[in-house]
Structure 1
Amino acid sequence: MHTSLEPAGPEFEWLGSSAIIEVSSTASGLRIVLAAPVDIDRYVEFHFSDPRAFQAMDEGDMLGFWEPALPGRYALYRVTSGGWRERSVGHYLNVTSTLGNMHEWLVVSSDLCVSVISSDAPNLREFG
């Protein structure tokens, strides 16, 4: 199944060799922190206030989402078709897949990726 993605959010010059260093889910939402390469003191926090579901996987296991290759400076994508939500229909996410106001988001790095199903785009904060 072909996956269609559109870049969302800003471009980051330092994205190559970046790493997701934190994924935490609490009552306040889902927090994903992306760190720049070791020699660059920059971080981006993605905060989903009301995520419905999420999965974190090694980028190698997400290669099926990346054909053709992703534009190199975006860390956040909106999945417009063929994503985790569509692929799971009939297997799991049975309730979530029927909700029309849900969107799928993909946060990428060089070693870990997080797919999030949420009705709202994340809030982004760059710091460091």
Structure 2
Amino acid sequence: MKTPEPKLLNVESKFKTDRSIYVDEIRFSDNGLDVYVNSINWQVKVNFDCIYGFRVLDEGDLGEFWSECNLTVGWCFEVTEGGWTSLENSRPHFITGKLYNPREFLIIGLNECVSILTHEPPSITDKSSYNKRFNKDNVVAPL
């Protein structure tokens, strides 16, 4: 079964995209999934507190996405169609898709890309200032 062409929305943040962005580290714990993303201009932690799954792939394995998203456009995207969720939904035993209709996000870097199936959008924390935590609307939220 062929999945639809990818459709994505850029997740806006104060951390502007550039061609130096890379995924530095990934941590999965009781606090959810933390993806540490670095640029020459900033370092952030992207937290997904309620995930259904994640995968890490080399950027070369996601060629169908590059007409819609690349580091000149952004670095964090919501995949609204044609992504990993669509691929998993083609399997009859993908229960998560049937029960929860997860949202999909994609963080891209120079080499690795992380796909996340989740319930909520991520929060983005500036690693250079631990006193700030930004939610999906770039509003400073309490820790």
Normalised TM-score (structure 1): 0.85
Conservation of the 8 A alpha-carbon contact between 1:48 and 1:123: yes
Q: Which residue of 2 aligns with 1:125?
A: 125
Give the structure-2-normalised TM-score.
Answer: 0.77
Distance change in 2, residues 1:107/1:30 (3 Å): same
Instruction: Tell which structure's C-alpha radius of gyration is larger.
Output: 2
Residues 1:12 and 2:24 aligned together: no
Q: Does residue 108 of structure 1 match 2:83?
A: no
CA distance in 1: counterparts of 2:15 and 2:78, whole angstroms? 16
How far apart are 1:7 and its partner, in Å? 0.5
Partners in 2 of 1:110 and 1:65 — Cα distance?
14
Structure 2 gaps of 5+ residues are 129-143
The higher relative CO (CA closer than 8 Å, separation ≥ 6) is in 1
Contact 1:12/1:75 (8 A) holds in 2 = no
In 1: Cα distance, 2:77 partner to 2:16 partner: 16
| Larger strand share, 1 or 2 | 1
Aligned partner of 1:94 in structure 2 is 94
Q: Is the CA contact 2:77–2:106 (under 8 Å) kept in the aligned structure 1?
A: yes
Q: Map of 1:14-93 to 2, 5 A cutoff?
A: 15-37=18-40, 40=41, 42-70=42-70, 72-91=72-91
| One-letter amino acid matched to 1:72 | T
> Deviations 1:68-105 (Å, cap 9, x if unpaired)?
34362522111110010111224487011213441000
Distance (whole Å) between structure 1 residues aligned to residue 14 and residue 70 of structure 2: 12
RMSD: 2.1
